[in-house]
Chain A
Amino acid sequence: MKRIALATSFSLLALSASLAVHAVEYKQVQTAKSSIHFTYKQMGVAVDGKFKRFSSQLSFDPTRPTAAKASFDVELASVDTGAPEGDEEVAGKPWFNTKAFPTARFVSSSVKALGGNRYEVAGQLSIKGKTQEVLVPATFTAQGNSAVFDGSFTIRRADFSIGEGSWAKFDIVANDVLIKFRITAASQ
């Protein structure tokens, strides 16, 4: 009787352990292995930049993707345009106005599985006091104990009043800005 009880509790333990493996949830965002880049066109020429500092909360369980949640806070003053005078300029009033609006924020509202490892995250993006609905396609790749999410989406800078005044026309700096991200999150 005792032996049976012991055997049962062992098998229960094994079962819960295997369940735990399947129900892995990625929550620990590793900022050192994550990045947010952007690409825009300057007189028809693609120019890349990035944000050096941002924080993110994320929870993703591959078995329940629609329950996933993600939010990002990007420190806009950490922008790297490739030139110091560019960094200074875009922090200023006509662009991000980082004094009044230091962070850009994205909060997911729903996640749709598109099949395979592809997902579509709907959410609200707020920059410079303006909020827009955005759809963000992303892929999920498991790497050891971590999940890597890659994706990109395009915003129009005019929707957020980024680049006002003499920059408002799109002949020099295009309206479309492609945001590319890679987020690495470890399971708990």
Chain B
Amino acid sequence: MKSARNTTYTTTAKSLHWLMAVLLIGLLALGFYMQGLRLSPEKLQLYAWHKWAGVTAFLLLLFRLAWRVTHIPPALPASMPKLMQFAAHAGHLALYGLMLAIPLSGWLMSSAKGFQTVWFGVLPIPDLLDKNKELGDLLQTVHMSLNLLFVVTIAGHVGAALKHHLIDKDDILTRMLPAHTKEH
């Protein structure tokens, strides 16, 4: 076992975190906005963009998971109670799980509804499911529910980071910031 553990995130890890933060919040906002629109050319355009961005987020996640497995992140402060450490790990696991499950549910939903996903209009993503109205409606509910859960989990993530910064006054939040160069 390695005794000296990193105290900082790699630039790649930080970049992936913030890039995906912006992308995923944008995807969430677009998703909730577009589904309420009346059918129009703009709506179809937005759906296509949402699907392209969703595939992009999924690919970024795969890269991020590979990076996460090969680059051990800095440890949580030893001052953190065990229960809080467990909650932090569980929260991060939930975030990763949702980032994986949400695009998959969207892809399957598109397949079942008969609207294939073609990445940037160029690369067709194979349909894993045949057209099936009932299954499509079910997957729409699944996609929606997972996203509501994602919003709650993100709120918890942001809330926890702010709590660390403002109340615990530790470096949990700042060590994810680009300018953070503190060496131990």
Contact = CB atoms under 8 A, between A and B. Distances in A.
Contacts of B73: none
Interface residues of B, number: 16
A156 interface: no
A43 B39 contact: no
B147 interface: no
A89 B131 CA distance: 20
B114 interface: yes
B133 to A, nearest CB: 8
Given A42-B115, A45-B115, A45-B121, A173 B39 contact: no
B44 interface: yes
Contact of B118 (A45, A166, A167): A45
B44 A82 contact: no
Nearest to A171: B41
Size bracket of the A interface: 10 to 19
Interface string B54-78: 0000000000000000000000000
B45 A172 contact: yes
A73 interface: no
A84 to B, nearest CB: 9
Interface in A46-63: 46-48
A85 B115 contact: no
B41 A82 contact: no
Given A82-B114, A82-B115, A42 B44 contact: yes
A77 to B, nearest CB: 17
B172 interface: no
A82 B131 contact: yes
Interface string A161-188: 0000011010111000000000000000
A6 interface: no
Contact of A172 (B44, B113, B117, B124): B44
A86 interface: yes
Closest 4 CB pairs of A and B: A82-B114, A172-B41, A44-B121, A89-B39
26 contacts: A42-B44, A42-B115, A43-B44, A44-B118, A45-B48, A45-B115, A45-B117, A45-B121, A46-B116, A48-B114, A48-B131, A82-B113, A82-B131, A83-B113, A85-B39, A86-B39, A88-B39, A89-B39, A166-B40, A166-B41, A167-B41, A169-B41, A172-B41, A172-B44, A172-B45, A173-B41
Given A46-B116, A172-B41, 5 more contacts: A42-B44, A48-B131, A167-B41, A172-B45, A173-B44
